[in-house]
């Protein structure tokens, strides 16, 4: 099969999903849209050249370009805020549609309109409180380039300005009546909040935290993009508590200042190059050749393919789309029910949360004190345990329903398939060995993996040319912008909740449950499943991850093993109905309905829950491999 038949157009996929969910996308002429593409591609390519070049210079000449990392950090800020704005424009931000869809049709358009007014509110508030930051930091110079630090805030201003423009054009899609009613609705809610906190505030402690969580959930179910929900909740909450809201703008800026986060765009770019460049099909063929003769061979291959591919792209939606699209035709040809295939794909998506290199693991490590390399190693065996559980139940169901095996292949055919897949397999291998082995930093290794994947896709699989590479860069830049803006907003909200005493409130609640480590772990699992389902995975980790990991140490629980537990719990939340966004996308990719998938998904979910309980009860499952490799 030709490579072009098996690659996934992420740009079209994002537009298709956006259209299906009635999200904003492509409201300008093609030339303007191409300008956005070129801008994002240029920023991401510049970051890649700087970091890969710095890595090469250090390896060859044993010296570093000290200015390169600082410029790369400015590129990262540009991706976060400018890319985040473009992601909003193209409908890439995560949105919970359940609340809007349950409304009578005559009210839906008004609420759709109102959610864009909340986005405008975030942009205006951000700009207002960022202006004093610009003034205050003008006389402070950067360490290496010695330029005013105010210039580092320029991407924030551009990003918020673009958000205002994009939101304005979204409002123009609605009638004057819808705009007037939506504006009055948002203004009334804002006025009610302002007067209430004016006469009863400041809201501190339990009352303030309760208000923040209520506002968070209300806006999420109202369909406001989740990253902007995190931002507006942080601003409103900090103002209600009597603190200076400018601290939120500062926290958003500092939220993406970690050097580790420079690897985020490269993880996403590596995954997209693998998909767009034709690397996914050889991997799928190799996995099928290796395990296809087992009972339910193609479903077994699907689990292993997710094990290999999970976590690289930066989006679980992209992961399931890549693997599902590649194997969907073969599964149908062999007579598998799309509902069964979708159930296995969803379960495999949960399993893949702790497989290195995992973006959510890297982000959680960047906002806590966990070592990225050790965290990656700690996730290998838990993911293998969950994968083994899935493969066992697939085998049992294959016997029960007489699912087919794949055709037998000769050893020479297997050898040819393995040789063809080897270059594609090297991409995750480079990432894992480079990071775990301490050969280079996470960011440097990710840049090497990207360059290698580009070379392989162009010269080995011949699945990418200059035009498609620019498109892949632009799509990766927009996706990275969505992730980084969410990290920025989530870090700000996590900080505001932390200074409000969330940890104390949770500790007091746990004391009512007995105050034991068992109660704490049980509470954490339930919390992350619920919040992972409502907020999707990454936002829930950003908000609650640092607090839970700190409490884990108080209860004498190893933070590394506990981190694995909450990530798996979060993963379960993203793939369970009725709220799990990834669950609905998986059904769409496999061309089936939620109603058909859910009964078939329950057995797989049950074994995953059993596996999660085992991983939580026996921390050695997570810690054995790091200890064996003397990692701390």
pLDDT tens digit string along 60-71? 887 777 787 778
Give the model's pLDDT for residue 415.
92
Give the model's pLDDT for residue 15.
37
- Under the banding of pLDDT at 50, 70 and 90, the label for residue 312 is low
Give the model's pLDDT for residue 165.
94
- Under the banding of pLDDT at 50, 70 and 90, the label for residue 9 is very low
Cis ω before 69 (30° cut-off from 0): no
Give the model's pLDDT for residue 21.
38
- Under the banding of pLDDT at 50, 70 and 90, the label for residue 178 is very high
Whole-angstrom Cα distance, residue 285 to residue 352? 19
* pLDDT at residue 96 tops 50: yes
Name the phi and psi angles at 279, rounded to 5: -85, -20
* pLDDT at residue 395 tops 50: yes
pTM above 0.85, yes or no: yes
User: 10 Å Cβ neighbour count for 348?
Assistant: 30
Whole-angstrom Cα distance, residue 296 to residue 396? 9
- In DSSP terms, 148 is beta-bridged to 141
Give the model's pLDDT for residue 356.
79
Give the model's pLDDT for residue 311.
55
Q: Which residue has the higher pLDDT, 480 or 64?
A: 480
DSSP 104: -
Query: Mutual orientation of helices 620-628 and 559-574 as an angle, nearest 10°?
Result: 130
Give the model's pLDDT for residue 390.
92
> Which string of b and e fits 11-31 if b means at least 16 CB within 10 Å?
bebbbebbeebbbbbbeeeee
Whole-angstrom Cα distance, residue 84 to residue 480? 8
Whole-angstrom Cα distance, residue 232 to residue 193? 13
Q: Which residue has the higher pLDDT, 8 or 276?
A: 276
| Strands, E assignment, 384-470 | none
Give the model's pLDDT for residue 7.
42
> Which range scores top for mean pLDDT: 383-392, 432-441, 581-590?
383-392
The average confidence (pLDDT) of the chain is 85
Instruction: Check if the beta carbon of residue 428 is closer than 8 Å to that of residue 358.
Output: no
Closest CA to 555 of 547, 162, 386: 547
* pLDDT at residue 278 tops 90: no
Widest CA span in the chain: 79
Q: What is the mean pLDDT of residues 347-363?
A: 84
* pLDDT at residue 339 tops 80: yes
Give the model's pLDDT for residue 313.
56
Give the model's pLDDT for residue 3.
39
Instruction: Check if the beta carbon of residue 47 is closer than 8 Å to that of residue 72.
Output: yes
Q: Note the pLDDT tens digit of each residue in 289-305.
A: 888 888 888 899 889 88
How many percent of the chain have pLDDT more than 90? Answer: 26
Instruction: Check if the beta carbon of residue 503 is closer than 8 Å to that of residue 106.
Output: no
Q: What is the mean pLDDT of residues 173-185?
A: 93
* pLDDT at residue 176 tops 90: yes
> Which range scores top for mean pLDDT: 284-293, 469-478, 509-518?
469-478
DSSP 356: S
Whole-angstrom Cα distance, residue 152 to residue 398? 57
- In DSSP terms, 141 is beta-bridged to 148
- Under the banding of pLDDT at 50, 70 and 90, the label for residue 90 is confident
Give the model's pLDDT for residue 315.
62
H/E element, 195: helix 176-200
Q: Note the pLDDT tens digit of each residue in 196-249.
A: 988 887 888 888 888 888 999 899 888 899 899 999 999 999 988 888 888 888
Q: What is the mean pLDDT of residues 140-148?
A: 82
* Region for residue 410 given its phi and psi (left: phi exceeds 0; alpha: psi -120 to 50; beta: otherwise): beta
* pLDDT at residue 5 tops 50: no
* pLDDT at residue 306 tops 50: yes
* pLDDT at residue 16 tops 70: no
* pLDDT at residue 561 tops 90: yes
Least trusted range by pLDDT, from 415-419, 427-431, 504-508, 598-602:
427-431
How many percent of the chain have pLDDT more than 70? Answer: 95
- Under the banding of pLDDT at 50, 70 and 90, the label for residue 270 is confident
């Amino acid at each position: 099969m030709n490579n072009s038949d098996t690659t996934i157009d992420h740009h079209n996929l994002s537009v298709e999903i956006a259209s299906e969910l009635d999200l904003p996308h492509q409201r300008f002429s093609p030339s303007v849209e191409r300008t956005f593409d070129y801008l994002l591609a240029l920023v991401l390519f510049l970051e890649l050249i700087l970091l890969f070049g710095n890595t090469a210079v250090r390896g060859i000449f044993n010296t570093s370009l000290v200015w390169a990392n600082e410029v790369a950090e400015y590129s990262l800020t540009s991706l976060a805020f400018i890319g985040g704005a473009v992601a909003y424009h193209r409908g890439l931000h995560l949105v919970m549609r359940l609340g809007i869809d349950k409304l009578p049709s005559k009210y839906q358009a008004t609420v759709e309109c109102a959610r864009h007014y909340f986005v405008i509110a975030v942009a205006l508030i951000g700009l207002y409180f960022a202006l004093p930051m610009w003034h205050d930091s003008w006389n402070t110079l950067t360490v290496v380039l010695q330029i005013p630090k105010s210039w580092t805030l320029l991407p924030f201003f551009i990003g918020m300005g673009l958000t205002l423009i994009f939101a304005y054009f979204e409002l123009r899609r609605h009638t004057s009546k819808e705009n007037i009613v939506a504006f009055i609705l948002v203004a009334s809610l804002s006025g009610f909040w302002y007067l209430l906190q004016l006469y009863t505030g400041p809201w501190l402690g339990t009352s303030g935290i309760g208000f923040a969580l209520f506002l968070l959930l209300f806006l999420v179910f109202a369909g406001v993009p989740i990253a902007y929900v995190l931002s507006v909740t942080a601003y409103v909450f900090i103002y209600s508590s009597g603190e200076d809201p400018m601290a939120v703008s500062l926290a958003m800026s500092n939220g993406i200042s970690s050097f580790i986060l420079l690897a985020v765009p490269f993880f996403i770019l590596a995954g997209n190059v693998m998909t767009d460049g034709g690397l996914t099909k050889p991997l799928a063929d190799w996995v099928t050749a290796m395990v296809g003769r087992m009972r339910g061979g193609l479903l077994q291959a699907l689990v292993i393919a997710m094990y290999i591919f999970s976590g690289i792209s930066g989006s679980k939606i992209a992961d399931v789309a890549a693997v599902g699209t590649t194997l969907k035709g073969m599964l149908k040809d062999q007579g598998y029910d799309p509902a069964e295939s979708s159930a296995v794909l969803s379960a495999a998506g949960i399993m893949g949360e702790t497989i290195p290199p995992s973006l959510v693991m890297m982000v959680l490590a960047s906002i806590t004190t966990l070592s990225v390399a050790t965290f990656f190693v700690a996730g290998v065996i838990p993911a293998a345990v969950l994968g083994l559980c899935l493969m066992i139940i697939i085998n049992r169901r294959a016997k029960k329903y007489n699912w087919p095996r794949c055709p037998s292949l000769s050893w020479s055919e297997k050898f040819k398939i393995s040789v063809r897949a080897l270059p594609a397999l090297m991409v995750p291998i480079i990432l894992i060995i480079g990071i775990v082995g301490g050969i280079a930093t996470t960011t440097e290794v990710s840049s090497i993996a990207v360059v290698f994947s580009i070379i392989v896709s162009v010269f080995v699989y011949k699945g990418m040319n200059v035009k498609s590479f620019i498109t892949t860069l632009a799509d990766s830049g927009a996706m990275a912008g969505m992730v980084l803006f969410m990290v920025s907003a989530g870090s700000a909200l996590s900080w505001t909740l932390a200074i409000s005493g969330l940890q104390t409130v949770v500790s007091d609640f746990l004391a009512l449950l007995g105050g034991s480590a068992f109660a704490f772990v049980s509470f954490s699992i339930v919390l992350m499943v619920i919040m992972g389902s409502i907020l999707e995975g990454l936002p829930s980790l950003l908000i609650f991850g640092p607090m839970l990991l700190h409490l884990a140490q108080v209860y004498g629980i190893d933070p590394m093993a506990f981190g694995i537990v909450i990530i798996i719990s979060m993963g379960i939340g993203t793939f369970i109905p009725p709220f799990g966004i990834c669950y609905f996308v998986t059904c769409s990719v496999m061309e089936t309905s939620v109603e058909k998938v859910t009964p078939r998904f329950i057995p797989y979910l049950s074994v995953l829950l059993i596996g999660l309980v085992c991983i939580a009860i026996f921390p050695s499952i997570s810690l054995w491999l790091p200890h064996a490799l003397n990692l701390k």
